[in-house]
């Protein structure tokens, strides 16, 4: 039975804004846009968030990502800490902490990371090898020369956040049409006509929040590609010896990002932190990815991984400079890009959604977000075209 939040009806096909994709990007934009305009979200899957959003092991970490991403992350903190009444049944953030560990030959990388973290937060500690091993007792002491601990890093309730945006958008009048794969886009007489497997929909503005498929949608519309590259990230969960109180551990990873581990519902979640370029598809984990991660984890810790409990993969999509693309296309009237979220789409969703909704309405970056250094020109397509030139 289909969730009553979502509709497959082809009625009321005219809107002010059509949003292609109802993952975290599309849902957050709809949440901020729907109080001001008619919004329809077109989701190709039977439920929103099937791909990247639903497969994310998200952590809120202000040091993570390029400058505009870090600014949007910091600008999102107030929403995470104090969401509107009724937005979520539980806190969106849970304290976790993040520990970056370095071998003796990696201290320069550790110094650079510490400087980066201190540029956005004062809640950071430089730890000795003994202090790092005290926080995560399974670390092999001989492999640890030092660590940086980000005490403000938090687990994100991804499902709660995504559902809160969808509920809020619907309460303001937005609709989600599922099983609505886009088959064609044409523009005439001030309207985009979007053909889907659920019928045809019309609006003056299309917002392309299709995740790994954003360049595919752009090509259908006649846009030049933004150079989006989907990249596979594999992950798995595994059991840990009951003698270890792993629930209290921070997320910990090698400073060279060859692996990371995070406590997850009584298990540990591990990943090789890979970023393998692939075509957009329903991605699955590769056995080699998991084998590499297990090898790195067992070399760096005393953990023995006999058999993963669950294995999966997700797509994280990037443009050349690694930052977000949010703004109207430089050639197509009424075609708005909301793409290139990489691995940062969850932690930035409140501020990114608010910003994109404002820009799509022809407004400036909202003042509370701009105060953190978010700039319209740093998000737009023009910067990519300039790089091509």
Cα–Cα distance for residue pair 8/178, rounded to 1 Å: 6
Residue 33: in which H helix or E strand, if any? helix 24-33
pLDDT for res 10: 42
Beta strands 39-42; 175-177: pairing state: parallel
63 near 122, Cβ under 8 Å? no
pLDDT for res 387: 55
User: What residues contact 327, with CB distance under 8 A and at least 6 apart?
Assistant: 336, 337, 359, 376, 379, 380, 381, 382
Average pLDDT score over the chain? 93
- Positions in the chain whose pLDDT score sits under 70: 1-12, 51-56, 385-389
> Phi then psi for 318, rounded to 5 degrees?
-130, 150
b/e code 62-93 from CB counts within 10 Å (16+ = b): bbbbeebbbbbbbbbbebbeebeeebbeeebb
pLDDT for res 203: 97
pLDDT for res 141: 95
pLDDT for res 241: 85
Taking Cα atoms as reference points, which of 18, 24, 95, 30 lies closest to residue 349? 24
pLDDT tens-digit series, residues 302-353: 999 989 999 999 999 999 999 999 999 999 999 999 999 999 999 999 999 9
User: What residues contact 50, with CB distance under 8 A and at least 6 apart?
Assistant: none
Strands of 165-255, DSSP E = 175-177, 182-188, 191-196, 199-203, 205-208, 229-238, 251-254
Cα–Cα distance for residue pair 179/196, rounded to 1 Å: 9
Taking Cα atoms as reference points, which of 273, 250, 35, 10 lies closest to residue 138? 250
pLDDT for res 221: 98
The domain segmentation of the chain, as residue ranges, is: 17-57+158-226+321-383, 98-151+229-318
Q: What CATH number matches the domain at 98-151+229-318, 3.30.9.10, 3.10.20.30, 2.70.70.10, 3.40.50.720?
A: 3.30.9.10
Kindly list the distances between the CA atom of residue 102 and the CA atoms of 123, 158, 223, 268, 318, in Å, as whole numbers in the listed order: 19, 29, 44, 21, 27
Q: Quick one: 17-57+158-226+321-383 is in which CATH superfamily?
A: FAD/NAD(P)-binding domain (3.50.50.60)
Q: Which residues pair with 127 in a beta bridge?
A: 147
pLDDT tens-digit series, residues 92-127: 999 999 999 999 999 999 999 999 999 999 999 999
Cα–Cα distance for residue pair 277/364, rounded to 1 Å: 34
CA torsion 381-385-386-388 (nearest 10°) is 140
């Amino acid at each position: 039975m289909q969730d009553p939040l979502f509709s497959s009806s082809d009625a009321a096909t005219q809107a002010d804004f059509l949003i292609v994709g109802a993952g975290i990007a599309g849902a957050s934009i709809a949440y901020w846009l729907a109080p001001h305009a008619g919004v329809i979200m077109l989701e190709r899957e039977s439920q929103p968030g099937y791909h990247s959003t639903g497969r994310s092991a998200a952590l809120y970490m202000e040091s993570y990502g390029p400058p505009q991403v870090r600014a949007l992350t910091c600008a999102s903190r107030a929403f995470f800490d104090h969401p509107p009444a009724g937005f979520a049944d539980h806190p969106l953030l849970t304290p976790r902490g993040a520990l970056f560990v370095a071998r003796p030959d990696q201290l320069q990388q550790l110094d650079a990371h510490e400087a980066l973290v201190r540029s956005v937060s004062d809640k950071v500690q430089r730890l000795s090898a003994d202090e790092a091993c005290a926080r995560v007792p399974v670390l092999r002491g001989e492999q640890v020369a030092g660590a940086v601990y980000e005490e403000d890093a938090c687990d994100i309730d991804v499902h709660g956040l995504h559902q809160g945006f969808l509920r809020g958008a619907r309460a303001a009048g937005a609709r989600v049409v599922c099983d609505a794969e886009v088959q064609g886009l044409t523009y005439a007489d001030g309207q985009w006509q979007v053909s889907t497997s659920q019928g045809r929909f019309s609006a003056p503005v299309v917002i392309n929040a299709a995740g790994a498929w954003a360049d595919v949608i752009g090509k259908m519309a006649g846009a030049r590609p933004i150079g989006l590259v989907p990249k596979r990230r594999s992950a798995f969960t595994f059991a840990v010896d009951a003698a270890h109180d792993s629930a209290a551990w921070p997320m910990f990873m090698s400073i060279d990002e060859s692996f990371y581990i995070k406590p997850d519902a009584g298990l540990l979640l591990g990943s090789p932190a890979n970023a393998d370029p692939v075509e957009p598809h329903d991605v699955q984990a590769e056995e080699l990815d998991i084998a590499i991660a297990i090898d790195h984890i067992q070399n760096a810790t005393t953990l023995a991984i006999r058999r993963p409990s669950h294995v999966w993969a997700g797509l994280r999509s990037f443009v050349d400079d690694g930052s977000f693309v949010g703004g109207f296309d430089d050639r197509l009237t009424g075609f708005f890009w909301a793409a290139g979220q990489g691995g940062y789409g969850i932690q930035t969703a409140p501020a990114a959604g608010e910003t994109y909704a404002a820009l799509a309405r022809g407004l400036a970056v909202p003042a509370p977000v701009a105060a953190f250094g978010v700039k319209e020109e740093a998000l737009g397509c023009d910067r990519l075209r300039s790089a091509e030139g």
